[in-house]
Structure 1
Amino acid sequence: MIQKADRLSDVKEYYFSKKLREVAALKNEGKPVINIAIGSPDLQPSAQVIEAIQQAVATPNAHQYQSYQGIPALREGMRDFYATNYNVDLNAATEILPLMGSKEGIMHISMAFLNKGDKVLIPNPGYPTYASVTKLVEAEPVFYNLNEAGNWLPNYEELEKEDLENVKIMWVNYPHMPTGAVASKEDFEQLIAFAKKHNILIVNDNPYSFIIHKNALSILAVEGAKDIAIELNSLSKTYNMAGWRVGMVVGDAEIIKTILQVKSNMDSGMFLGIQKGAVEALKLSNEWFESLNEIYLKRRAIVWQIFDALNCTYDKSIGGLFVWAKIPEGTTSEALTDKLLYEKDVFITPGTIFGSNGEGYIRASLCVTEEVLQEVLNRINN
């Protein structure tokens, strides 16, 4: 067998990729497993979004290669989205790069700026892909602690004790996944000051602004942020378009140009129909978000009941597409989630997949119907 690349020696298969095979095997054995672990929206995109992609399929140039930078209307829609929702001004021609999902952007950004041996600050707990991609490009992950006592925000006293000389990128993610915690404008100002002091590129991964959150905020709304920060955003959660793979990276024109150097060698443009659908999605008013959140709030109320039945505690003031809960003492995150899977046929996420600071926590998704969540509650209570 051909030997795999050294870069894979410290990179594990994504947890959900592996665990979902196990769940599928259990289902094949006849187990009625309910999955409330994955944040894949089950709701439909807007009807006008569906109509736009259907119409685009019939246009003469729909099946040709598209621009690496997306059609002008898409970048203009993203510009208007940022102006309307975040009060951030962006140049549609130079400061916005559409992506095939923000996960793609994590790789492109890392390839554009990291050399072998560079260090990267990665949140613990945090999205596992930050660490995986860092290792794939042979840079060094440096995990920084987030905890409940600190509202899941960086502890700068701890960070200043680190050797930051070779740190090139710092990943942040607010509203935070997996906990749902938010950063204020003052928090972002402190983060930008820290980054400028140490000449570190800040990348804020921001796909959850509008899911049961008030006062959506972009890090680029902070004065001087464009000097040292960029932001990833996505239509996956906000517009129920996860499978469409539409995201964006926004920020300083030179930084975006550098990322494009990588992206233009990795794909041949996004399908025109998807771009046309995304344009229509970005035009939707706040009524769209309000209608989504009305559904998610009802679902969340049942998830709270599920966690009450498991004797977990959680913060009712935190929004987002998930509920993050502290488990009772005397067990571990994986022991509890495996017990639920094998004894109750319920698949839920252990906090440990997001880092060592996720031990003692579990996470449930709101991407399942009220009826399904009620069935989970019934199984746990019986």
Structure 2
Amino acid sequence: MIPTAKRLDSVEEYYFSKKLKEVRQLIADGKPVINMGVGSPDLLPSVKVIESIKNAMYDEKAHEYQSYQGLPELRFEMANFYQNYFNVGLDFNSEILPLMGSKEGIMHISMAFLNKGDQVLIPNPGYPTYASVTKLVQAKAMYYDLVDATNWQPDFEKLEQLDLSKVKLMWVSYPHMPTGVNGSLELFERLIAFGKKHNILIINDNPYSFVLNEKPISILQAAGAKDIAIELNSLSKTYNMSGWRVGMVLGKASVIEAILKVKSNMDSGMFYGIQKGAIAALKLDKSWFTVQNKVYEKRKALVIQLAKKLGCEVDNDSVGLFVWAKLPSTIKSSEKFIDTILNEKHIFITPGTIFGSNGEGYIRFSLCVTEEKITEAIERIG
């Protein structure tokens, strides 16, 4: 056996990659598992989107290598999207880079800006990929606490007490994953000021803005944001296109150019048909979100019933594709709790601990489950 690279010693296989093997085995053994763990939309993309990719198959250039920067029309519609929904002006030629899902952007950004030993501010709880990618590029994760008492927002006084001399990046994610807390212009302005003061690139990961959210917001709306911040966004949750792998990174031209240097050495461009489908999605009007959110509203109401049956507390005002629930104080391990529910009731729920130590005492439900399945889960709990 050829030894693996030492960098792999610092990371583990992604939680869902491991856990879903267990879930699949239970299903193979005849167990009727209801999967409420993963945020993979089960709703279909728009008919217009599907027709666009079908029609694109016969275009003259459809099956050739594509530009590393994506079709100009795709970047143009991404710019329109930000102008229409966030009132943010972007140069589609230099300030937008389409990605094969925003997850790859986390790696590209990290490779573009981090050297061995550099430090990165990572939210606890937060998306696990921020930390794993940081370790893969041999930088060091510096976790900052998010807690219920401060509405899952950074404590800037505590941040200022840290030695920030080696910090180059700060990951934030509002609307926050996993808690569903929305961002605010005031929060983003404080983040921009903090980034400028300490010369730290602020990256807002923003894929959930339009799910059950009446006040979508972008960090790029804050004054001076482009000087020190960039944003990741995605069509996965917004337009039910998670398997298509379409995302984007947005910010000032020099930062986008640096990320493109990495990306252009990692892939050979996004498939033409997928880009055409993405263009069609971005042209949809607000009624798309209205119809979709009516479905999620009904599901959320049922999931809250389920959470309360399990003795949990829930923030009804949270946004996004998940319900974050606080377990009863008598339960000391969220992982043991969800394993019990999985094995006894055949319901898979995500333990809060996979998002960081501050996730202990919490569990997360996905809304990517039909009303019928959620109702069945409620009945199973009894």
Q: TM-score, normalised by structure 1?
A: 0.99
Give the equivalent residue in structure 1 for 2:121. 121
Q: Give me the whole-angstrom Cα distance separating, in 2, the residues matched to 1:113 and 1:57.
A: 37
2:301 is the alignment partner of 1:298: no
Give the equivalent residue in structure 2 for 1:340. 341
Q: Give me the whole-angstrom Cα distance separating, in 1, the residues matched to 2:298 and 2:330.
A: 31
| Same amino acid, percent of matched pairs | 65
Tell me, what secondary structure is at the counterpart of 2:45?
coil
Output aligned runs, 1:284-323, within 5 Å.
284-323=284-323
Q: Give me the whole-angstrom Cα distance separating, in 2, the residues matched to 1:33 and 1:190.
A: 44
Give the equivalent residue in structure 2 for 1:107. 107
Deviation at residue 334 of structure 1 after TM alignment: 0.7
The gaps in structure 2 that reach 5 residues or longer are: none
Q: Give me the whole-angstrom Cα distance separating, in 2, the residues matched to 1:308 and 1:250.
A: 39
Give the equivalent residue in structure 2 for 1:81. 81
Tell me, what secondary structure is at the counterpart of 1:76?
helix
Stretch moving more, 260-269 or 21-30? 21-30
Tell me, what secondary structure is at the counterpart of 2:10?
coil
Deviation at residue 27 of structure 1 after TM alignment: 1.1
Output aligned runs, 1:135-214, within 5 Å.
135-214=135-214
* Aligned residue type for 1:267: D
* Aligned residue type for 2:82: Y
Give the equivalent residue in structure 2 for 1:271. 271
Q: Give me the whole-angstrom Cα distance separating, in 1, the residues matched to 2:161 and 2:241.
A: 41
* Aligned residue type for 1:41: P
* Aligned residue type for 1:359: E
Q: Deviations for 1:31-53, whole angstroms, at most 9, x for unmatched residues?
A: 11110010000000000000000
Q: Give me the whole-angstrom Cα distance separating, in 2, the residues matched to 1:97 and 1:319.
A: 27
Q: Deviations for 1:356-379, whole angstroms, at most 9, x for unmatched residues?
A: 000000000000100010111111
* Aligned residue type for 2:31: K
2:57 is the alignment partner of 1:57: yes
Give the equivalent residue in structure 1 for 2:364. 363
Give the equivalent residue in structure 1 for 2:13. 13
Q: Give me the whole-angstrom Cα distance separating, in 2, the residues matched to 1:19 and 1:317.
A: 29
* Aligned residue type for 1:302: L
Q: Give me the whole-angstrom Cα distance separating, in 1, the residues matched to 2:8 and 2:255.
A: 28
Deviation at residue 69 of structure 1 after TM alignment: 0.1
Deviation at residue 302 of structure 1 after TM alignment: 0.4
Give the equivalent residue in structure 2 for 1:97. 97
Q: Give me the whole-angstrom Cα distance separating, in 2, the residues matched to 1:134 and 1:59.
A: 40
Give the equivalent residue in structure 1 for 2:376. 375
* Aligned residue type for 2:375: Q
Q: Give me the whole-angstrom Cα distance separating, in 2, the residues matched to 1:156 and 1:247.
A: 30
Q: Give me the whole-angstrom Cα distance separating, in 2, the residues matched to 1:36 and 1:164.
A: 38
Q: TM-score, normalised by structure 2?
A: 0.99
Q: Deviations for 1:206-246, whole angstroms, at most 9, x for unmatched residues?
A: 00000001111110011100000000000000000000000
Tell me, what secondary structure is at the counterpart of 1:243?
helix
Q: Deviations for 1:131-164, whole angstroms, at most 9, x for unmatched residues?
A: 0000000000000000011010000111111110
Tell me, what secondary structure is at the counterpart of 1:9?
helix
Q: Give me the whole-angstrom Cα distance separating, in 2, the residues matched to 1:380 and 1:147.
A: 29
Q: Give me the whole-angstrom Cα distance separating, in 2, the residues matched to 1:218 and 1:330.
A: 39
Q: Give me the whole-angstrom Cα distance separating, in 1, the residues matched to 2:172 and 2:241.
A: 23
Q: Give me the whole-angstrom Cα distance separating, in 2, the residues matched to 1:197 and 1:301.
A: 43
Q: Deviations for 1:147-190, whole angstroms, at most 9, x for unmatched residues?
A: 01101000011111111000000000000000000121011101
Give the equivalent residue in structure 1 for 2:354. 353
Give the equivalent residue in structure 2 for 1:328. 328
Structure 1 runs (4+) deviating above 6 angstroms are none
- Taking only aligned residues, the RMSD between alpha carbons, in angstroms, comes to 0.5
Tell me, what secondary structure is at the counterpart of 2:65?
coil
Q: Give me the whole-angstrom Cα distance separating, in 2, the residues matched to 1:225 and 1:88.
A: 11
Give the equivalent residue in structure 2 for 1:282. 282
* Aligned residue type for 2:365: A
Q: Deviations for 1:66-120, whole angstroms, at most 9, x for unmatched residues?
A: 0000000000000000000000000000000000000000000000000000000
Q: Deviations for 1:304-331, whole angstroms, at most 9, x for unmatched residues?
A: 1001100100111112100000001121
Q: Give me the whole-angstrom Cα distance separating, in 1, the residues matched to 2:203 and 2:228.
A: 9
The gaps in structure 1 that reach 5 residues or longer are: none
